[in-house]
Chain A
Amino acid sequence: NAGVTQTPKFQVLKTGQSMTLQCAQDMNHEYMSWYRQDPGMGLRLIHYSVGAGITDQGEVPNGYNVSRSTTEDFPLRLLSAAPSQTSVYFCASRADRGANNEQFFGPGTRLTVL
């Protein structure tokens, strides 16, 4: 199993550009999430999905869109990038809603918005 994969690993955007961060998992997990990691802030939840076709907002959803058309994929879209979105983005998945379930994280995408 590849686990959770993310592409690209690095990206530089100009303010106002759009892009999609890709996330895929091959563990047949129902639950997937996007977090952003900023220095001294820990990880903060952006959006999450509890299954194909079902998404919901997390702690910091503004400026981001998500969709979940398949169990495997959960892309994160930035419609109009802003410097405040410079961050490291992690996708995570877990088997079900149980609060004691381990989340598996991808390797991250480091995004810089100029």
Chain B
Amino acid sequence: AQSVSQHNHHVILSEAASLELGCNYSYGGTVNLFWYVQYPGQHLQLLLKYFSGDPLVKGIKGFEAEFIKSKFSFNLRKPSVQWSDTAEYFCAVPRRGSQGNLIFGKGTKLSVKP
């Protein structure tokens, strides 16, 4: 069965620290990968996506992610986090046979201390 794994449940960082959130998927064939962010009290927003081409994808607010096919990974990175990056982050892949609906990981909560 398809699955998406996010390794960290809760990450606590100080401002200016570097961030890397892990995401692994179990999925062969054509790969489309997404990172969504949910700020406190808000709805999910697309952070970045990969569907082909350069495996290093740049998103909004200085985030980037690298698709490594051999490792089935799509880790999210940011060189220097800010307090405003405090949010929950979800990795997702399209669900096969479901017209493009998504399977989400369980999420990683990021807390940035000022």
Contacts and interface: CB of A to CB of B under 8 A. Distances in A.
Interface of A: 4, 31, 33, 35, 40-45, 48, 50, 56, 58, 90, 92, 94, 97-103, 105-108
Interface string B21-34: 00000000010101
Given A31-B100, A97-B100, A102 B106 contact: no
B42 interface: yes
Interface residues of B, number: 25
B90 interface: yes
Contacts of A107: 42-43
Contacts of A50: 99
Contacts of B102: 43, 45, 103
A33 B102 CA distance: 10
Interface centre among A94, A103, A106, A108 (most CB of B within 10 A): A103
27 contacts: A4-B43, A31-B99, A40-B106, A40-B107, A42-B90, A42-B105, A43-B44, A45-B101, A45-B102, A45-B103, A48-B101, A50-B99, A90-B43, A90-B44, A92-B44, A94-B100, A99-B51, A99-B100, A100-B32, A100-B49, A101-B100, A102-B46, A103-B46, A105-B43, A105-B45, A107-B42, A107-B43
Contacts of B78: none
Nearest to A101: B100
Interface in B64-99: 90, 94-95, 98-99
Nearest to B44: A105
Contacts of B42: 107
A102 B4 CA distance: 18
Nearest to A57: B98
A111 to B, nearest CB: 15
A44 B4 CA distance: 12
A99 B98 CA distance: 10
Contact of A106 (B34, B43, B94): B43
Contacts of B45: 105
A99 B9 contact: no
Contact of B107 (A33, A42, A45, A98): A42
Interface centre among A42, A45, A92 (most CB of B within 10 A): A42
